[in-house]
């Protein structure tokens, strides 16, 4: 069976099928095509998505759960971990801190998760030493901003940590001010030199009352992980409320921590002397689930999404209902069907339980093919609209002004070569290409690999004509 597109002069060689991870080897190790190839994804437009797609564990939770394992010596096992490159990078961060990290098959393997014989989720087994290392190197931290989350647990365990200042997606400034201010209130001495953040607490951390200026997910996670081993009680006001925060608090409590009111804006953490290793399943990925929900609406399709609690997407699903879609929910699954052209809806991103900023590219894609004009407002990241120029190459009518974008919908977009600028923008551009005439080619899809396990296989299973191949080499223009 071939998966080449119908247009002969635009076909590219089909991407070789991925093999399952060998025992003890994770994504990103030598030979993993997701990391080693410079790839493009091409989709044939005028598609309609239909079928069922299963969502595995949340990347934004699994990465922090792996860091939380540092808090207890011994073996922790985290299941339902997505097969993506960011997980591989975090695994290497932990290895360089002295941990033994290996990947194993989830047991039992769900046939929805292992489509085509390739697992999309795995378990990560982490053996943490009595004295983990205290330095996270720049060459890894620059590739994965989430690796800054080792700051809190290492400071709590070792009393000293040196972590390179992070990089990450090109979607705006994401400073560490609230991380540093909160740790300082808990007794840490913070300094910076040569691109590293250095935190010391030779006498240990102590409880404190901390008020965050903004409900930052990263700051909340770092401060919670530091507070669980601090002396006394720590209160974090204006804490993030995301499901991923609840997930990490659930794991920590199972390790022996004493965290109260997880999921609210005020967290109370009573420090304990030590924690124990644990086995924990990662919460389903609401952002991936939301991507498929918007894809169904944009293509006037009918898609059932399993593996995630629809309550985590209440605002986003309500927007699709306002756009004319039919949404049905049940425990751990939901269905989105759109029979006619979507109606324009306005969207404002806010911290959870508001509309997730990571779904903004999909919201703009929906607006680009809706009937009417939509006002999209971004309140979280100042660079989230960077990808708008790429969407405009597909014919989208977008006018940006600061934190606002006015999008006037068209019946159909126009296929063109575009470039992914970050994880969610890449997925959004691919989905927008399904609503265009002709073929859309998205380059720099290594970004997509960081957040969507086997995205092409899922698209294909939902009826899309799609293929992935290596991008042609750029010509040598040297004189």
What are the pLDDT digits (tens) for 332-386?
999 999 999 999 999 999 999 999 999 999 999 999 999 999 999 999 887 788 8
- Residue 416: C-alpha distances to residues 14, 79, 402, 440, 474 (Å): 19, 39, 26, 5, 18
Instruction: Order across the sheet with 233-237: list the strands.
Output: 209-211, 233-237, 266-270, 258-260
308 closest CA partner among 61, 92, 15:
61
213 part of the active site = no
Nearest residue to 269 (alpha-carbon basis) of 213, 222, 308: 222
- Residue 270: which H helix or E strand, with range? strand 266-270
Q: What is the pLDDT of residue 9?
A: 41
C-beta atoms surrounding 330 within 10 Å: 10
Q: CA separation (Å) from 30 to 22, 35, 106, 117? A: 11, 9, 22, 21
Splitting the chain (479 residues) into consecutive groups of 10 residues, what average pLDDT does each group show?
43 36 37 54 97 97 97 98 92 95 75 52 94 89 84 95 70 71 95 88 95 95 97 98 98 98 97 98 98 98 97 98 97 96 97 96 97 96 86 96 95 96 95 97 94 95 95 71
Q: How far is CA 289 from the centre of its chain?
A: 11
pLDDT of residue 209: 98
Q: Which residue out of 32, 86, 169, 422 is catalytically annotated?
A: 169
Task: Beginning with the edge strand found earlier in the chain, give each strand of the sheet holding 135-136 in spatial order.
Answer: 135-136, 160-164, 196-200, 189-193
Give whole-number Cα distances, 368 to 309, 364, 397, in Å: 28, 6, 7
Q: Residue 6's Cα: distance from chain center in Å?
A: 33
Cβ 188 vs Cβ 207: under 8 Å: no
pLDDT at residue 386, as a whole number: 87
Which pLDDT does position 478 carry in this prediction? Answer: 67
CA 26 centroid distance within chain: 18
Return the pLDDT at 293.
Answer: 98
**Pairwise CA distance, residues 245 & 456, whole Å:** 29
Residue carrying the six token digits 């009918």: 302
Q: Are 34 and 85 in contact (CB under 8 A)?
A: yes
Q: What would the two tokens of residue 478 be? A: 């040297």
Q: Check: pTM over 0.95? Answer yes or no.
A: no
Position 108 scores a pLDDT of 52
Give the N- to C-terminal CA distance of the chain in Å, as an integer.
45
d(CA 289, CA 347): 18
What tokens were used for 75?
Answer: 């073996």
Integer Cα distance of 393 and 377 in angstroms: 21
CA distance 39 to 446: 7
336 conformational bin, left if phi > 0, alpha if psi -120 to 50, beta if neither: beta
Which tokens is 298 given? 């944009």
The model's pLDDT over 306-341, given as tens digits with 9 standing for 90+, comes to: 999 999 999 999 999 999 999 999 989 999 999 999
Taking alpha carbons only, the member of 81, 76, 88, 77 closest to residue 61 is: 81
Residue pair 40/242 in contact by the 8 Å Cβ criterion: no
């Amino acid at each position: 069976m071939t998966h080449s597109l119908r247009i002969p002069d635009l076909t590219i060689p089909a991407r070789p099928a991925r093999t399952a991870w060998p025992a003890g080897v994770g994504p990103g190790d030598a030979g993993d095509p997701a990391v080693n190839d410079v790839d493009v994804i091409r989709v044939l437009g005028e598609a309609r998505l239909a079928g069922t797609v299963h969502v595995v564990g949340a990347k934004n939770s699994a990465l922090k759960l792996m860091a939380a394992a540092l808090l207890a010596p011994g073996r922790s096992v985290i299941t339902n971990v997505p097969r993506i490159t960011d997980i591989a990078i975090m695994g290497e961060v932990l290895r360089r801190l002295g941990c033994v990290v290996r990947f194993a098959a989830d047991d039992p393997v769900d046939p929805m998760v292992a489509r085509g014989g390739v697992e999309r989720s795995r378990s990560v087994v982490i053996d943490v030493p009595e004295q983990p290392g205290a330095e996270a190197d720049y060459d890894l931290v620059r590739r994965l901003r989430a690796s800054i989350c080792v700051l809190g647990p290492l400071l709590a365990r070792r009393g000293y940590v040196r972590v390179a200042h992070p990089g990450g997606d090109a979607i705006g400034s994401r400073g560490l001010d609230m991380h540093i201010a909160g740790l300082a209130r808990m007794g840490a001495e913070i300094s910076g030199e040569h691109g590293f953040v250095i935190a010391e607490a030779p006498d240990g951390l102590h409880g404190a009352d901390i008020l965050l200026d903004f409900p930052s997910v990263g700051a909340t996670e770092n401060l919670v992980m530091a507070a669980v081993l601090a002396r006394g009680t720590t209160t974090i006001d204006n804490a993030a409320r995301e499901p991923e925060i609840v997930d990490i608090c659930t794991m920590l409590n199972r390790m022996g921590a004493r965290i109260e009111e997880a999921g609210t804006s005020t967290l109370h953490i009573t420090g304990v002397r030590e924690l124990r290793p644990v086995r924990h399943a990662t919460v389903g990925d609401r952002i991936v689930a939301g991507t498929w929900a918007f894809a169904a609406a944009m293509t006037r399709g009918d898609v059932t999404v399993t593996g995630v609690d629809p309550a985590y997407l209440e605002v986003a699903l309500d927007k699709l209902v306002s756009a004319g879609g039919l949404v049905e929910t049940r425990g751990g699954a939901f269905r989105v069907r759109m029979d006619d052209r979507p109606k324009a809806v306005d969207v404002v991103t806010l911290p959870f339980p508001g509309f997730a900023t990571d779904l903004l590219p999909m919201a703009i894609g929906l607006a680009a093919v809706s009937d009417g004009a939509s006002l999209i407002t971004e309140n979280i990241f100042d660079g989230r609209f960077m990808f708008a120029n790429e969407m405009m190459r597909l014919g989208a009518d977008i006018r940006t002004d600061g934190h606002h974008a006015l999008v006037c919908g068209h019946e159909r977009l126009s296929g063109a070569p575009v470039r992914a600028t970050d994880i969610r923008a890449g997925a959004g551009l691919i989905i927008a290409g399904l609503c265009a005439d002709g073929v859309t080619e998205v380059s720099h899809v290594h970004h997509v690999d960081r957040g969507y396990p086997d995205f092409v296989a899922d698209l294909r299973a939902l009826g899309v004509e799609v293929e992935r191949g290596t991008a042609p080499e750029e010509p040598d223009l040297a004189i």
